Amino acid sequence: MTRERAKQLAEALVGRMTPEEKASQLRFDAPAIDRLGIPAYNWWNEALHGVARGGTATSFPQAIGMAAMFDDELLFRIGTAIGDEARARYNALSREGDRDIYHGLTMWSPNVTLFRDPRWGRGQETYGEDPYLTARLGTAFVRALQGDGETLKTAACAKHFAVHSGPEALRHSFNAHASEKDLAETYLPAFRALVQDAGVEAVMGAYNRLDDEPCCASRKLMGLLRGDWGFEGHFVSDCWAIRDFHENHKVTAAPVESVQLALRSGCDLNCGCTYEHIMHALELGMISEEDITRSAVRVFTTRFRLGLLGDEGSEYDAVPYTVVECDEHLALAKKAALESCVLLKNDGILPLDAATCGTVGVIGPNANSRRALIGNYHGTASRYVTVLEGIQDLTAGRCRILYSEGCSLWADRVEPLALANDRLTEAVTVAKASDTVILVLGLDETLEGEEGDTGNSYSSGDKTDLLLPEPQRLLLERVLAVGKPTVLVLMAGSAMDVSAAEKNAGAVLLSWYPGAGGGRAVAELLFGVESPSGKLPVTFYRNEALAELPAFTDYSMAGRTYRYYPGEPLYPFGYGLTYGDCRVTAVSADREKALVTARNDGARDTEDVIELYLRDEESPFAPPNPILCGFRRIRLAAGEEKSFPVPIDPAAFTVVTDAGERIPGSGHWTLYAGFGGPDKRTGALTGHEARTARISG
């Protein structure tokens, strides 16, 4: 159904409603209007890395892990699977009259906020720190969720609009400031791409203010969205964000004033309770019935586009419940986990050989943790496979596996009645009895996440530093001191300083939060069934670099992310090793694409990612470091050489002025093509320097 047709139907239906009925439909928990045959509908559902919070669904790697795949084609397949499962669940549950929260078809995903600061707890929900990567992946995900049918399969939502990335503790009252250049160059491109290129059906406003205006009622942001970008879908507030207008931002004095500001600014749907005051605002003359009607038409246009109202239905009504956690989707989740893991260091210890490795000690608080598999905004899986279980299953009958929890994830003891470090001696004993040690450390959603979701020493979901929790640092030190060949598996959703492991462990494998069955994928990578091929979508800084970065509350991009950071990171953006030995042997390029010839000189077949970076050599408005402008995931057999065309982002040949105007670049560019970014240590990190090409015009 075209938007025009859906809007016509919405206008006709809304025209039959009373003001009270129209107002009731602008809450996320919209009640039924029986006299018009309109069923109740709850707009709140989540699909960040699988249908979330509503019951059983396939569990994919956390969004930051899927970003590390550098594979928009696979992400499209994942989004398609998630959309199918959302439809299947809606079809089945609504037939039973179940219209509860998390059971609808309006999916409040993806989160295309830029991961600008490594302390932000919700960075795990994003596609990383690069605007181009975020836009490209977000576009693929939205197109997949929404489908290509006559009706929408689901309605995707771009969030959180805009300039929103912590601190979590301040988000309900914080006033962000960003220059016009940083807005146009960094914070807004992904949102614009999702609106103009992907046709996203909804946009969610952020909690904070931007330049003194609440983002859910910002004239500037709404002007860009509905004016310059031509957005025609509906706008939804973040949950209870409109209440923040009067309770925290203090830009209004009462709920009716917040209703007036939000509704007249163009916020159509309220996740929260403030729009319960709409009729009071109408009675006081603070809003008009036309204000209510405008938003009601927008939200009902979406419901008609989904085929949820009227007699036409949807071609997706026949999607059966049996697609939920079907074999195809589980296999897709495993493939995503394999592609997402990033090999950060390998002195030759990996891959392990189950037939010859003897006794393997698996140690650490995340080794047998289900919570460390799933990240936040997750669904419920019917089966979980931890890293320990994956290793046990893969090596069964071939080597002995010893296990110790080693320590609590963050507390100084596992058992409350025990002395501090009550698992440490056991861990050292296991390490001494083992031929090889696999140490599984990191975080989970209780240590990094959303404000209100966490506790202990972390700040409302954000990290206070980049270090492992103190008990894990002690465990790492003691286990490494045993002197056995040791592999660190890091499970986290953000940059961590693991300098001790980089210096003293044989290998470091970053698994992110790999999904409910992710332990299988981690085991297969450790034991060489598959080769790691993920790449970092964020910079891994050293902890002391926090003193060099701008303050967490400073939204200036100067000095942060790989495009502007002047220092030497622990691991740079775009970095990741494989078990192969891939190198770029030749590159030629024009303004549209590069032709990259690559060869695998290793003895192992592997996937890898060709990355293109562009530097404007003369424009004063260009970022100081080369920017990602293209990528392509490839597969090369051992000894194989092959050429691959890689499209180049046209926007890379432009720059953004201080006034926020995007203009042509200098006409003199250097293109870098390699299997990592053109970090000054690229040769030392990968063993191969990137090939370059000059582009003029």
Assigned superfamily of 3-163+172-319: Glycoside hydrolase, family 3, N-terminal domain (3.20.20.300)
Q: Catalytic positions, please? A: 238, 448
* pLDDT tens-digit series, residues 19-73: 999 999 999 999 999 999 999 999 999 999 999 999 999 999 999 999 999 999 9
- Residue 185's φ and ψ, nearest 5 degrees, are -90, -30
The CA distances from residue 382 to 103, 325, 326, in Å, are 18, 8, 11
Q: Two tokens at 670?
A: 């250097």
Helix, coil or strand: residue 105: coil
Cβ atoms of residues 508 and 347 within 8 Å:
no
- Asked if pLDDT for residue 682 goes beyond 50, the answer is no
Average pLDDT over residues 77-106: 98
pLDDT at residue 697, rounded to an integer: 74
- According to DSSP, the β-strands at 359-363 and 342-346 are unpaired
Cα-Cα end-to-end distance for the chain? 43
Average pLDDT over residues 677-692: 56
The CA distances from residue 172 to 206, 249, 482, in Å, are 9, 7, 48
Determine the Cα–Cα distance for residues 130 and 118; give it in Å rounded to an integer.
13
468 forms beta bridges with none
Determine the Cα–Cα distance for residues 516 and 153; give it in Å rounded to an integer.
25
CA 690 to chain centre: 28
pLDDT at residue 312, rounded to an integer: 84
Q: What is the CB-side half-sphere exposure of residue 652 using CA atoms within 13 A?
A: 29
Helix, coil or strand: residue 351: coil
CATH no. for 332-538: 3.40.50.1700
pLDDT at residue 695, rounded to an integer: 84
pLDDT at residue 429, rounded to an integer: 98
* pLDDT tens-digit series, residues 359-407: 999 999 999 999 999 999 999 999 999 999 999 999 999 999 999 999 9
* pLDDT tens-digit series, residues 660-670: 999 999 999 99
Average pLDDT over residues 566-593: 96
CATH 3.40.50.1700 residue spans of the chain = 332-538
How many H helices and E strands in the chain?
21, 23
pLDDT at residue 616, rounded to an integer: 95
Q: What is the CB-side half-sphere exposure of residue 312 using CA atoms within 13 A?
A: 16
Cβ atoms of residues 72 and 646 within 8 Å:
no
Q: Two tokens at 208?
A: 């904070």
Amino acid at 148: D
- Asked if pLDDT for residue 679 goes beyond 90, the answer is no
Instruction: Pinpoint the alpha helices (H) of 527-618.
Output: 561-564
CATH 2.60.40.10 residue spans of the chain = 582-696
Amino acid at 215: C
CATH 2.60.40.10 holds for 582-696: yes
pLDDT at residue 603, rounded to an integer: 95
pLDDT at residue 433, rounded to an integer: 98
pLDDT at residue 451, rounded to an integer: 87
Closest to 165 in 3D by CA, of 126, 214, 113: 113
Determine the Cα–Cα distance for residues 624 and 559; give it in Å rounded to an integer.
10
Task: Give the pTM.
Answer: 0.96
DSSP annotation string for 414-447: SSTTSPTTTTHHHHHHHHHT-SEEEEEEE--TTT
Per-residue pLDDT band for 458 (boundaries 50, 70, 90) equals: very low
Is the pLDDT higher at 477 or at 460? 477
pLDDT at residue 694, rounded to an integer: 85
pLDDT at residue 460, rounded to an integer: 66
User: Could you identify the residue written with the tokens 């992110």?
Assistant: 512
pLDDT at residue 691, rounded to an integer: 79
**Mean per-residue pLDDT over the chain, rounded:** 96
Average pLDDT over residues 109-118: 98
pLDDT at residue 342, rounded to an integer: 98
pLDDT at residue 573, rounded to an integer: 97
In the chain, % helix, strand, coil (3-state, to 5) comes to 35, 20, 45
Q: What is the CB-side half-sphere exposure of residue 568 using CA atoms within 13 A?
A: 5
- Asked if pLDDT for residue 497 goes beyond 80, the answer is yes
- Asked if pLDDT for residue 681 goes beyond 70, the answer is no
Per-residue pLDDT band for 1 (boundaries 50, 70, 90) equals: confident
Per-residue pLDDT band for 459 (boundaries 50, 70, 90) equals: low
* pLDDT tens-digit series, residues 278-323: 999 999 999 999 999 999 999 999 999 999 998 889 999 999 999 9
- Asked if pLDDT for residue 455 goes beyond 90, the answer is no
Determine the Cα–Cα distance for residues 586 and 579; give it in Å rounded to an integer.
22
pLDDT at residue 67, rounded to an integer: 98
pLDDT at residue 692, rounded to an integer: 83
* pLDDT tens-digit series, residues 220-262: 999 999 999 999 999 999 999 999 999 999 999 999 999 999 9
Q: Two tokens at 535?
A: 């790449």
Share of residues in the chain with pLDDT > 90 (%): 95
Q: Two tokens at 380?
A: 């419920």
CATH 3.20.20.300 residue spans of the chain = 3-163+172-319
Q: Please, which residues have CB within 8 angstroms of residue 344's CB and are 6 or more apart in sequence?
A: 490, 498, 502, 508, 509, 510, 540, 571, 575, 576, 577
Helix, coil or strand: residue 633: strand
Per-residue pLDDT band for 452 (boundaries 50, 70, 90) equals: confident
Average pLDDT over residues 630-635: 98
Per-residue pLDDT band for 688 (boundaries 50, 70, 90) equals: very low
- According to DSSP, the β-strands at 641-647 and 668-674 are unpaired
